[in-house]
Chains A and B, each alone.
Chain A
Amino acid sequence: MKTNRRRFLNLVIGGGLAGWLGSVLYPVISYLVPPKIPEAIVNSVKAGATTDFPPNSGKIIKFGRIPVILIRTNDKKFLAFSATCTHLDCIVQYRSDTQQIWCACHNGVYDLNGRNVSGPPPRPLEPFNVLVQNDEIIITKPTG
């Protein structure tokens, strides 16, 4: 009888303590998770005039909050890919000497189709569409 009462009290006090801890920790942990900030959805950006991009060069373009790499190949074609390396999130660059896309962080290499051809990247770079209208370059999100 006496043990039962003790067990009951321990349960009530222990449970109360656990509840109290939970009610303290829950708001603290929720506080640490940053709130989602709504952003305008960007579907296309103007990257500038074609004359700004010499052949065999690349540039990082701000596409909303994502960096996109715009490349003008030797045969004057424009290509665009997500510039975020699929390995560990670094930003890639165009290597005019090898005509490949290269990530300096861990030596990841992609070809001009965005395919991961050597080094640690596990996936290809996501391609973006490039339109040229009246000498102005427009980058758009891939559809579908």
Chain B
Amino acid sequence: MKTIGQKLFAWFDERFDLSPVVEFVNHKRVPVHRHMIWYYMGGVTLFLFVTQVVTGILLLFYYRPGADSAYESLRFILTKVNFGWLIRSIHSWSANLMVFFVFVHMFSTFFTRAYQKPREMTWVSGFILLALALGFGFSGYLLPWNELAFFATKVGTDIAGSVPFIGKALLVVLRGGDDVTGATLTRFYAFHVAMLPAIFTVFLTLHLLFVQRQGMSEPEELQGLAENQKKSISFFPNFFLRDALLWLIVLNILLYLAVFYPWDLGFKADPFTSAPAGIKPEWYFMFMFQTLKFLPAHILVFEGEVVGIVFFGLAGLAWMLAPFWQFGSKRKGVSNPMNIIGLISLAFIIIMTIVGYLV
């Protein structure tokens, strides 16, 4: 007697020949070693992304873009809509956790050197996903049209405006004019709910396809061992179930944060008030913000912020292209040049972020 599931499978199998898929799922294995925990970070990020999509779609049912309606519609969601506060709070928290896990995923990939040949394109596509995730964060931050978001957007787009050569045009296209106005909000809404998701989906699909096609990266110490000395578990169901358990834990943490630390709405943006004291960008932009704050008004003949922007642009590009210029070295730990570069970058980000919150 076949179950309904088996019948359905047989129905599809007869028409589409699912044997390659079954073959793939049965043979996919995950290496077991002491750095294995980092394999879960990408999965957690993916889970949080799905949470973003679901809660984002729910928010769209009530959100109304526009300088006269955005803040009001958000207040309506928070105070009148059933569980509106919860959906919005999950969306905000999950966005922050997602960016956090993207960074963890990226640095763990860097330090385990999983970005090396043959996985260069997985690394590059991952970096593009990081850039898009930051774009999501930046564009989404403005949508409630509150004071903090208004000034963060003014500063952020002004920084984009000082990019050499194309800055001015970029600023006008981003803002929909010379100033941050309702036109900017409409644009950011289009970026946040249509353009970025479309581009993100393409790169996410590629990123996942690359991972599936090449399998999990093995750390260097395992690569010299004979096949029978390596330990591994099957992806399905063993690794998948562990993944699912972790997702459940992350979901619980997310709900805890969303319920006990709900996201604030703040005051409505007013283009004719002074920037309030204590204005801060989202924490993941803090290290860049803080660095710009430390730069003097002029460095040689250039404006300080232009130097800062060019520096971050070039550093980001170098980071994305790391698989192509990396220093090959057999050294381990802190004497390996790539580890030193990674540690300096990580330390810079962490220290500047902490300083940003203390100063």
Contacts and interface: CB of A to CB of B under 8 A. Distances in A.
Contacts of B295: 120
A139 interface: no
Contacts of A106: 155, 292-293
B300 interface: no
A118 B183 CA distance: 33
A65 B183 CA distance: 14
Interface string B55-76: 0000000000000000000000
B208 interface: no
A100 to B, nearest CB: 13
B65 to A, nearest CB: 16
Contacts of A33: 169, 172-173
A88 B154 contact: yes
B275 A104 contact: yes
A21 interface: no
Interface stretch (A2-10, A72-80, A90-98): A90-98
Given A103-B275, A105-B279, A120-B305, A90 B154 contact: yes
Interface in B18-77: none
B242 interface: no
A130 interface: no
A136 B177 CA distance: 33
A67 interface: yes
Given A67-B272, A104-B278, A34 B297 contact: no
A125 interface: no
Nearest to B190: A32
A90 B172 contact: no
Interface string B272-286: 111111110000000
A87 B177 CA distance: 19
A141 to B, nearest CB: 17
A87 B305 contact: yes
Nearest to B179: A65
Nearest to B169: A33
A90 B155 contact: yes
Interface of B: 151, 154-155, 157-159, 169, 172-173, 176-177, 179, 183, 271-279, 292-293, 295-298, 303-305
Interface of A: 32-34, 37, 60-62, 65, 67, 69, 83, 85, 87-93, 103-107, 116, 120-122
Interchain residue pairs A-B with the least CB separation, the first 7: A93-B274, A89-B158, A90-B275, A122-B297, A104-B275, A88-B158, A88-B155
23 contacts: A32-B173, A33-B169, A33-B172, A34-B177, A67-B272, A83-B274, A87-B297, A87-B305, A88-B154, A88-B155, A88-B305, A90-B151, A92-B275, A93-B275, A104-B276, A104-B277, A104-B279, A106-B293, A107-B293, A120-B293, A120-B295, A120-B296, A120-B297
Given A33-B169, A105-B275, A120-B293, 9 more contacts: A87-B305, A88-B158, A88-B159, A90-B279, A91-B151, A104-B277, A105-B151, A120-B296, A120-B297
